[in-house]
Structures are given as C-alpha cells and as structure tokens.
C-alpha cells in the first residue's frame, strides 16, 4: 500500500528546474512582521499615556459627573446673577461676606482638583468636590434669604406694603 501512487517518475531535469525557480524567486517581505510590532508599540505607548493621564475635573471622569458639574456650575452662576439683581445699599455687607466665602470655597475646590491630578480617580476626592458645589449653593441661597429678609425689614418696604 506504501508505493501504489509512486508509479510515475519525474521528467528529466525536474529537480534542477525546481531548484532554479527556488533560487530565482524574489523574497517577499512580510509587511506584517515589520509593521505589526511597530503599530503594537505605538498603541501601547498611547494606551499607557492615556491611562497615566489623571483627571483634573469631574467632567473628565464620567458623563454623569460631567452633567453634575455642568448643573452645579450653571446653578451657581444663576444664583450669583440673581444676587446681583437684589443688590442694594443695605445688602453690600451680606453680599461681600457671602462672596468672600464663595471665593474661599472656590480655592478649596481648586485644591481638590490638584489633589485629583496627583492621586487620580479617588471617590473621596470626587465626593468632596461635589460637596463643595453643594455648600456653595447653600451659601448662595443663604445670601438670597438674608437679602430678602433685610429688604422686608426696611422702612421703604413697609411703606410700600402698608394696609
């Protein structure tokens, strides 16, 4: 059963022609062997660079935190604008004290951002950043309440709203 297919002998010169074809064959450069390791190393470098990049703001961490940040920043700006419309001569001290507190809280927020840059993703720092926004909102709302209370206590208010 071993040699049943070996009934024909190759033509004379077959091996020489085959050998010459092998010798004359142009070597194909396998581009995958050259470019694949280069591409892989570039992708690895980009990936490591991206992973080492630390977020410096809530918006860079997740879409949900981006929305949270946008909400608080928009609300804070709105409250500050509203306070500006309520501004009166009797309210300057309340507003200046409140805005000094807001500036202090903004400086604390910047420190939290620096800490987030150093440490990277950290739930405690993120929570502290969100709490900072909430405290700023509370301070602004307290300023508005105090302004409204002082405006109601002024004699001009009582003269306008007399019975």
For residue 83, give both structure tokens.
Answer: 């306070």
Residues 65 and 36 in one domain: no
Q: Are residues 119 and 73 in the same domain?
A: yes
Task: Provide the pLDDT confidence category of residue 22 given band limits of 50, 70 and 90.
Answer: confident
| 7 domain residue, yes or no | no
Asked if the model's pLDDT at residue 47 lies above 80, the reply is no
Q: What is the average per-residue pLDDT within 155-163?
A: 54
88-103 mean pLDDT: 85
Handedness of CA 21, 23, 26, 30 (dihedral sign): positive
Report the number of distinct structural domains present in the chain: 2
What is the predicted pLDDT for the residue at 23?
77
Q: Count of alpha carbons within 13 Å of 35, Cβ hemisphere only?
A: 4
Statement: residue 132 has pLDDT above 90:
yes
- 82 and 142 belong to one structural domain: yes
Least confident stretch, 2-11, 100-109, 123-132 = 2-11
Is 18 in the same domain as 88?
no
Please indicate, yes or no, if residue 91 is contained in any of the structural domains. Answer: yes
Classify residue 70: in a domain, yes or no: yes
In a domain, 131, yes or no: yes
Residues 63 and 122 in one domain: yes
pTM higher than the cut 0.95: no
Q: Are 145 and 68 contained in the same domain?
A: yes
Does 54 score more than 60 pLDDT? no
Do 143 and 63 lie in one domain? The reply is yes
pLDDT at 119 over 90: no
Structure tokens at 41: 């190393």
Q: 95 and 39: one domain?
A: no
The DSSP secondary-structure symbol of 64 reads: H
97 and 70 within one domain: yes
Do 31 and 75 lie in one domain? The reply is no
Handedness of CA 154, 155, 161, 162 (dihedral sign): positive
Work out the mean pLDDT of the chain and round it to a whole number. Answer: 79
Task: Report whether pLDDT(135) > 90.
Answer: yes
CA distances from 160 to 53, 148, 154, 157 (A): 60, 15, 10, 5
Residue 36 counted as domain residue: yes
pLDDT at 38 over 80: no
What Å distances lie between residue 30 and 27, 39, 138, CA to CA? 9, 15, 67
pLDDT exceeds 70 at position 155: no
Q: Is residue 34 part of a domain?
A: yes
Query: Look-up: residue for tokens 């020489």?
Result: 16
Please indicate, yes or no, whether residues 29 and 68 belong to a single structural domain of this protein. Answer: no
| Domain extent for 62 | 56-160
Judged against a pLDDT cut of 80, whether residue 140 lies above it is answered with: yes
């Amino acid at each position: 059963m071993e040699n049943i297919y070996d009934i024909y002998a190759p033509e004379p010169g077959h091996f020489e022609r085959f050998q010459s074809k092998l010798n004359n064959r142009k070597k194909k450069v396998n581009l995958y062997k050259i470019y694949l390791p280069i591409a892989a190393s570039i992708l690895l470098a980009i990936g490591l660079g991206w992973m080492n990049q630390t977020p410096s703001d809530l918006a860079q961490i997740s879409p949900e935190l981006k929305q949270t940040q946008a909400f608080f920043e928009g609300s804070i700006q709105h409250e500050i604008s509203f306070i500006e419309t309520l501004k009166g001569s009797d309210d300057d001290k309340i507003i200046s004290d409140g805005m000094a507190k807001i500036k202090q809280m903004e400086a604390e927020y910047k420190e939290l951002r620096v800490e987030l840059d150093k440490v990277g993703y950290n739930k405690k720092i993120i929570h502290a950043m969100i709490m900072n926004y909430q405290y700023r909102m509370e301070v602004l709302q307290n300023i508005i309440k105090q302004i409204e209370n002082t405006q109601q206590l002024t004699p001009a208010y009582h003269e306008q709203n007399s019975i």
